[in-house]
Structure 1
Amino acid sequence: MSEFAFWRRLDAPGHDMAALTVRPGGWFLQGHAAFHETGDPTGLCYEVELDERWHSLSGRVQGFRGLQRFDHVIRHEAGGWSLDGRIVDGLNHLADLDFGFTPATNMPQLRRLALEIGQSVKFTVVWFDVGMGTLAALPQIYRRESETTYWYESPTSAFEGLIDLAPSGFARIYPTLWQEEVSG
């Protein structure tokens, strides 16, 4: 099984594409994003390894922002979540890795949660900020509104909106930031 998505960024020039494939013991999410952020051209290759229950095991983000190149490795280890080999305190109990620059990492969270229509949940993810090159805890709230829509809130970033999913499970519309482009 493989699922694909290709998005156009709505708030700045840019695109993102992602693929989810089955791997032994779970799933593999990988993608490529290119966009302008705060005036800097940014190009990224990203990946997330997931177990069969949709828990994030590791991630990697490689690329550049302006003239700055980077290669960040993120792992969920026995001692907690590490960024480039260093444990980040306070994240050990968290199951989901969220890359703030792409809508692709919402899919595994939604599949793991498997909410029924009308059901809501508040939980916290490990959030990677590509601009700062840091990991942090990010509280999130999802409420399933219909078969394909989820109301999303990120209380600490004051972002909220209605995410509409495509049949692939990826976001079709991620309000004000991304919209899937469909060929044909």
Structure 2
Amino acid sequence: MNQTLMWRRILDEASFEQATVRQDADGTEIAGTALLAEAGAPLRIDYRLTCDAAWITRRVEATQSFQGRARTLALDHDGQGQWRRGGTPAPELEGCLDVDLGISPATNALPINRLRLAVGETQKIRAAWVLFPELQVKAAGQSYERLDDKCYSYRGLDSDFQAEVTVDAAGFPTDYGTIWRRIATGPATRVQQATAEALLSSAASPVLGEAAHAFDWVIGGWRAEVTDFAEGRAVASDIGEWWFSWALDGRAIQDVWIAPARGRRRDIRIADRYSTTLRFYDAEAGLWRIIWINPVNGAVNRLAGTRQGDRILLEGEEYGRPARWSFNDIRPDSFTWRGEIQQPDGRWRLDAEFRLRRVMG
């Protein structure tokens, strides 16, 4: 099954979920977005989960945007009932083999396909139940009874909740009681979106540990006041944009740096930058290394450094001379990014300065 599915929440006619399902011999990946009205406020959840060939959940990533705040969740499962949340053991989930995203009818397909019940058979399970917008995770007792070829009775064993779930031939819900209804089915998403889903991650990999905190604050979108300098004097200024996301299974951070910003690029008065940076942690050296590529002019910079208080200093070379770029005055919603070139006399000369304000994240 390689399809995109869409559901409408008929309970209140106020919410939707769209998910793309991809399968191969190694297992199943479900990547989806839920747009919900939560107490009159917009709630967006982007998630990706993977299951092995036996439909046992192995990894879950989710990013929630609610009330002007972005929060992330990462769960890893060893396939035997032991879970980790953000790299930390989660013994309260011991014995769970499935994840149940509380806003998603799609995740009912996981136990349905894993259990493969015969008609008339019932089985009890424990699932890692994720509650939104609280972003809490609890072990929940559940039961599934197969009523006929395409219909199951679902019960929450820790509550009075019960619903009949009708599924398609692949075990994905078409109707979930009086709550969700499938309204569209189509081919899997186009290659550009599939590539983005493979590249980007919603959270840092647990293998980074505490090192992730050096840069986790920067994830999101930023508006930049850009100033370029020559011989220590400001020569041009404009507005830019900067977007950061975890990438490569959460082991790196990828950004896109655009100056002038899109929509302002007809009159380019500053150095033209439509570029990307990959940041990754070198555990052996204890440094974050970055590679910046600007295909507009062919520039490639390699820098490395660490965070010290409210500053991150990255050092390397630019134009064949020692260079340093730094994050300064780091605050939750602002920072200043400065680029400096070392002169023959050893002094550092300011080459560019960007004042950033958060617009998303």
Q: Same fold (TM over 0.5)?
A: yes
Give 2:116's aligned residue. 114
Matched with 1:56 is: 57
Q: Which has the larger radius of gyration?
A: 2
Letter in 1 for 2:76: R
Asked if residue 30 in structure 1 is aligned to residue 42 in structure 2, the reply is no
Compare 96-105 and 74-83 and name the one that shifted more. Answer: 74-83
1:158 CA displacement: 1.9
Q: Please point out which of 93, 115, 120 is paired with 1:91.
A: 93
Contact 1:4 1:168 in 2 (8 A): no
1:162 CA displacement: 0.9
The Cα shift of 1:38 comes to 2.4
Aligned residues of 1:48 and 1:57 also touching (Cα < 8 A): yes
Say whether 1:65 aligns with 2:84. Answer: no
CA shift for structure 1 position 167: 3.2
Percent identity reads: 25
Give the conservation status (yes or no) of the 8 Å contact 1:11–1:176: yes
Q: Is the 8 A contact 2:101 2:131 kept in 1?
A: yes
Partner of 1:3: 3
SS of 1:109's partner is helix
8 A contact 1:83–1:135 mirrored in 2 = no
CA deviation vs aligned residue, 1:40-84 (integer Å, no higher than 9, x gap):
211111111110100000101113122221121111148921222
Q: Which runs of 4+ in 1 moved over 4 A?
A: none
The CA distance in 2 between the partners of 1:107 and 1:3, in whole Å, is 14
Gaps of 5+ in 2: 187-361
1:87-118 deviations in Å (ceiling 9; x for gaps): 22232322111111101111021001000110
Match of 1:108, SS? helix
How do 1:147-162 and structure 2 match up within 5 A?
Answer: 147-162=149-164
Contact 1:3-1:168 at 8 Å conserved across structures: no
**In 2: Cα distance, 1:158 partner to 1:39 partner:** 26
Deviation at 1:143, TM superposition (A): 0.6
Separation in 1 of the partners of 2:183 and 2:3? Answer: 14
CA distance in 2, matches of 1:75, 1:40: 30
Corresponding residue number in structure 2 for 1:143 = 145
1:126 alignment partner in structure 2? 128
Q: Which of the pair is proportionally richer in helix?
A: 2
Asked if the contact 2:126/2:139 (under 8 Å) is kept, the reply is yes
1:145 partner letter: L
Report deviation, 1:122.
0.9
Kindly indicate whether the alpha-carbon contact (under 8 Å) linking 1:79 and 1:87 is maintained by their aligned counterparts in 2: no
In structure 2, what is the Cα distance between the partners aligned to 1:54 and 1:81?
16
1:90/1:71 CA distance change after superposition, 3 Å: closer
Q: Name the counterpart of 1:178.
A: 180
Q: Distance in 2 between matches of 1:183 and 1:92?
A: 35
Cα distance in 2 for partners of 1:92, 1:24 equals 27
Secondary structure of the structure 1 residue equivalent to 2:74: strand
CA distance in 1, matches of 2:144, 2:179: 17
Q: 1:182 to 1:22 in 2, by over 3 A?
A: closer
**Aligned partners of 2:81 and 2:93 also within 8 Å:** no
SS at match of 1:145: strand
Note closer, same or farther for the CA distance 1:23–1:65 as it changes in structure 2 (3 Å cut): farther
Give 1:151 shift. Answer: 0.7
Distance 1:38 1:157, change over 3 A: farther
Distance 2:77 2:39 in 1: 30
2:323 alignment counterpart: none
- In 1, the alpha carbon distance for the partners of 2:146 and 2:24 equals 28
Distance in structure 1 (CA, Å) of the matches to 2:172 and 2:28: 14
Aligned-residue Cα RMSD (Å) equals 2.0
Mark the runs of 5 or more structure 1 residues left unpaired by the alignment.
none
Give the distance between the partners of 1:123 and 1:42, measured in 2 at CA. Answer: 29
Task: Return the TM-score normalized by structure 2.
Answer: 0.48
